[in-house]
Amino acid sequence: MTNKSYIVTLAVPTEEFRRTLAEVIPDATVLRELSRNRVVVLVPATSADALPTVAGITAVAPDELAKKLRPGRRGDS
């Protein structure tokens, strides 16, 4: 099974979101908490469409690099 990670912005406390997420998508995992009421969530690819329907979410964005780095580069342009 393939998983996808998303950055999710919350309108509720993280613990409340964790409980709700477990009810809606039992195989989802909160990987880490970020600043400004955001968390990184790992969900099965087959359940990704259900993520925006979880109560307490105000935004969902794929957790991916905006710009891919070339080998040998440190990211400075």
Domains of the chain, earliest start first: 3-62 (3.30.70)
Q: pLDDT for 34-61, tens place per residue?
A: 999 999 999 999 999 999 999 999 999 9
Query: pTM (2 decimals)?
Result: 0.82
* Distance separating alpha carbons of residues 12 and 2, to the nearest angstrom: 28
* Distance separating alpha carbons of residues 6 and 4, to the nearest angstrom: 7
Q: Coil, strand, or helix at residue 76?
A: coil
Q: Coil, strand, or helix at residue 2?
A: coil
Q: Are 57 and 11 in contact (CB under 8 A)?
A: yes
Q: Are 1 and 10 in contact (CB under 8 A)?
A: no
- pLDDT-derived band of residue 70, with 50, 70 and 90 as boundaries? confident
